[in-house]
Amino acid sequence: MSKAFVRDDGNAEDDDGLAADAPRLPPGMKNYMTRRGYEILRRELDELVRMERPKMVETVAWAASNGDRSENGDYIYGKKRLREIDRRIRFLIKRIESAEVVDPEAQAGNDQVFFGATVTLCDADGDAEQRWQIVGVDEADASQGRISWISPLARALLKAREGDVVRFMSPAGLRELEVLEVRYCA
């Protein structure tokens, strides 16, 4: 097949315009997220649409006016960056449109683990204590103690109560953790 008919511009992108490394939702599942996560996506979209994209369009227009585009680094980089911005805008719009915002504080007083819960756990040995908040796929950040609701740990924790021992398959093998505390806060 001729290379002219094969798309290979160095960008890992699926047919839906989402980057290959973007977190995926299971088919048919809702895009749950907290109010905080929703606002972060909205702010990023607003920043891209109002500030970054217009600035890059201006740069590309200026670079195009300088003549030969084939060897014009500003033009080539600008067009590439503009494609990246447009791809991210499409991604954010799709995520925001499919979002179902869940307020964790509405669960206050609930003793079971559901979306938005902050759960304190310890190993079955009672050694290390951990605290995780169950959030949307776009909000997950293990370094900040936030895990996606579709992660193996979060799925094992769903509907657990304080004192329960949950078992789940981690990359290191089967693990058992005891639920010490279940809280709901923003």
Contacts with 43 (C-beta within 8 Å, 6 or more apart), sequence order:
none
125 inside domain:
yes
- Judge whether residue 98 has pLDDT over 60: yes
Cα gap 139→55, rounded to integer Å: 27
Cα gap 33→104, rounded to integer Å: 10
CATH of the domain at 37: 1.10.287.180
Average pLDDT rounded to a whole number, residues 42-53: 97
pTM value?
A: 0.77
| Nearest CA among 110, 127, 75, 85 for reference residue 119 | 110
pLDDT score recorded for residue 111 = 86
pLDDT score recorded for residue 108 = 67
CATH of the domain at 115: 3.10.50.30
Residues 60 and 88 in one domain: yes
Angle between helices 73-97 and 53-64 (to 10 degrees): 150
- Judge whether residue 58 has pLDDT over 60: yes
- Judge whether residue 87 has pLDDT over 60: yes
Q: What is the pLDDT of residues 142-168, one digit of tens each?
A: 999 999 999 999 999 999 999 999 999
- What does the mean pLDDT of the chain come to? 85
Residues 162 and 135 in one domain: yes
Cα maximum dimension of the chain = 71
pLDDT score recorded for residue 172 = 84
If one counts the domains in the chain, the total is 2
Q: What is the pLDDT of residues 110-140, one digit of tens each?
A: 889 999 999 999 987 767 899 999 999 999 9
Confidence category of residue 28, pLDDT binned at 50, 70, 90 = confident
Domain termination site, one of 76, 101, 126: 101
pLDDT score recorded for residue 12 = 47
Residues 95 and 137 in one domain: no
Confidence category of residue 74, pLDDT binned at 50, 70, 90 = confident
